[in-house]
Amino acid sequence: DAGVIQSPRHEVTEMGQEVTLRCKPISGHDYLFWYRQTMMRGLELLIYFNNNVPIDDSGMPEDRFSAKMPNASFSTLKIQPSEPRDSAVYFCASSLGAGGVTDTQYFGPGTRLTVL
């Protein structure tokens, strides 16, 4: 398997623009997680899905952020409008389970977002 795939790897945009980050989880994994990593706050869970259904979005910072998972092999994280404080590395991860012995999370390479 190719692992978790994220695109783009780097994104530079201007404040106010819409940004869409994409993730393809490992085939067969039922859970998908979106994380954000900044120097100030480290890694933070934004939202996670189970079988394409959002389970917990309490980490989503505000209404400008939205995430969807239209099918088992694709998820998007959208920021509209983007702001400079959204600059961070966004990681997608997937796992077989979310609480048991099979729940090792496999991380994608991340998308480095810079909002000017």
Partner 1 sequence: KNEVEQSPQNLTAQEGEFITINCSYSVGISALHWLQQHPGGGIVSLFMLSSGKKKHGRLIATINIQEKHSSLHITASHPRDSAVYICAVRDGATNKLIFGTGTLLAVQP
The verdict on 105 binding partner 1 (CB under 8 A) reads yes
- Tell me the window of 18-26, 38-46, 60-68, 71-79 that interacts with partner 1 (CB under 8 A): 38-46
The verdict on 74 binding partner 1 (CB under 8 A) reads no
Beta strands (DSSP E) in the chain are 5-7, 10-13, 19-24, 31-38, 42-50, 53-56, 65-71, 74-79, 88-95, 106-107, 111-115
The verdict on 110 binding partner 1 (CB under 8 A) reads yes
Alpha-carbon distance 27 to 4, whole Å? Answer: 9
Instruction: List residues binding partner 1 (CB under 8 A).
Output: 42-45, 56, 59, 89, 91, 93, 98-99, 101, 103-107, 109-110, 112
